Amino acid sequence: MVMKPSKQVILNADDFGRSAGINAAVRKAHEQGMLTSTSLMITGEMANEAVEIARAHPDLAVGLHIVIVAGRAALPPARIPHLVDAQGRFSSDPVRAGLRYFFVRAARQELHSEIREQFERFAATGLPLAHVDGHVYMHLHPVALESIILLATEFGAQRIRIPRDDFALCISLDRSKLLQKAVTAAVYALLCRWSMRRLRRTSLRVTDRVYGLLQTGNMHQTYVQGVLRRLSVPSAELYFHPAMAPPYEEGGPNPGDLATLLSPTLPAIIAEHQLRPTGVLIS
C-alpha cells in the first residue's frame, strides 16, 4: 500500500514582540495549541521578552517580521529622516509610505539601511532565521523586496511569505466583506506574480498557498477548519494575529485568532486529513 505524502502546514502568529498581550498569546498557542511558527517584530516594544520566550521554546520556528510602516524603526531618526518622524516612527499610511519609497531616491537608500539593521538585530538574538515576512505586507513593495531578497539570502532565511491566498475557497467559507476581498485578491495576485518572478533564481522557498490575507483579523474556527479540510496543495501557511490583552484591532491582534489556535478540534482535523504541522518546510 502506497501512503500519500503528508501536506505540510505552517500555523504562524504575526507581530510577536509588539506587546505583552501578543507575546503571551504566542506562548500559549504554542504550548497548548497548534502554533508552530511566529514572526518577530524586532523593533516591537516587547521584542526582548519575545526573544526570551523563543529561546525557551526551541521547537517554535521564528522569522523576521519586517516593519517599514505603522511601527518603530531600528535606526535612529537622524539616519533615516526620509522614512520616520522625530520619534523614529514610520508613517501609518502604507500607500503614502509606499509612494515615498518608490519615488524618493534618498528614501530608497535609507530603506535598505533600515531593513539591513532589522536583519542584523535579529541575527544578534542568536535565533535561527526560519522565514521573512512584513508588517502590513510591505515586504512585497518593489523597492523593499529587492533588499529583502538579498538580505534574507545573506542571513540564511529558509522561506519568504508570498501571500498567494485562495479567493474562491475564502468566499466559500466566509462571504463577509466580499467586495473588499475581491479587490484585495486582485491587487495581491499581481504583486505575488511579480514577486515570484524575482525569487526564481534564489534559494528562498515559498509555500504553495498562504491563508490569512483575505481573512486577516478574523481567522475564526469555521474558516480555518474549512481550509484544513479542503487543503489540496503540498504546503500551506495559515497566519494569525492572536492576543490575550488589549489593544485589539479589527485586522488583528485579537482574542478570536487565539481561540482558533487553541481549538481542540484542530488536532483531530489535522490527523484525519494527514496534514503535517511544521515550522519550516521539509524537503
What's the mean pLDDT in 251-279?
Answer: 95
Nearest to 9 by CA among 269, 278, 263: 278
Q: Does 4 or 167 have the greater pLDDT score?
A: 167
- pLDDT at residue 1 is higher than 50: no
Average pLDDT (109-116) is 98
**Higher per-residue pLDDT: 251 or 123:** 123
- The pLDDT value recorded for residue 249 is 84
Here the cell at position 266 is 484542530
Taking the C-alpha atoms of residue 139 and residue 172, their distance in angstroms, rounded to an integer, is: 28
pLDDT for 5 equals: 60
Query: What does the pLDDT read at residue 4?
Result: 53
Q: Which of 188, 138, 130 lies closest to 155 in space, CA to CA? A: 130
Three-state DSSP at 270 gives helix
Composition of the chain by helix, strand, coil, percent to 5:
45, 15, 40
Question: Residue 2: pLDDT band by 50, 70, 90 thresholds?
Answer: very low
The distance from CA 64 to its chain's CA centroid, rounded to whole angstroms, is: 8
Q: Which three cell numbers stand for residue 93?
A: 499610511
Q: Which of 54-63, 217-226, 241-250, 252-261 has the lowest mean pLDDT?
A: 241-250
Q: And the C-alpha cell for 88? A: 523614529
pLDDT of the residue at 251: 80
Average pLDDT taken over every residue of the chain? 96
Pick 7-277's CATH classification: 3.20.20.370, 3.60.150.10, 3.65.10.10, 1.10.10.1100.
3.20.20.370
pLDDT value at position 248? 85
pLDDT at res. 90:
98
CA distance 154 to 83: 24
Look at residue 31 and tell me whether its pLDDT is greater than 90. yes
Q: Find all residues with CB under 8 Å of 14, minimum gap 6, and list them.
A: 38, 39, 65, 133, 135, 239, 240, 241, 252
The set of cell numbers assigned to 157 is: 532565511
Percent of the chain beyond pLDDT 70? 98
Are the CB atoms for 38 and 133 separated by under 8 Å?
no
Per-residue pLDDT at 32: 97
- Helix locations, the chain, DSSP H: 20-32, 47-56, 94-103, 105-124, 142-154, 167-173, 178-199, 221-229, 255-261, 265-272
In the predicted model, is pLDDT for residue 280 greater than 50?
Answer: yes
At 11, list the grid cell: 500555523
CA distances from 240 to 91, 96, 212 (A): 23, 26, 7
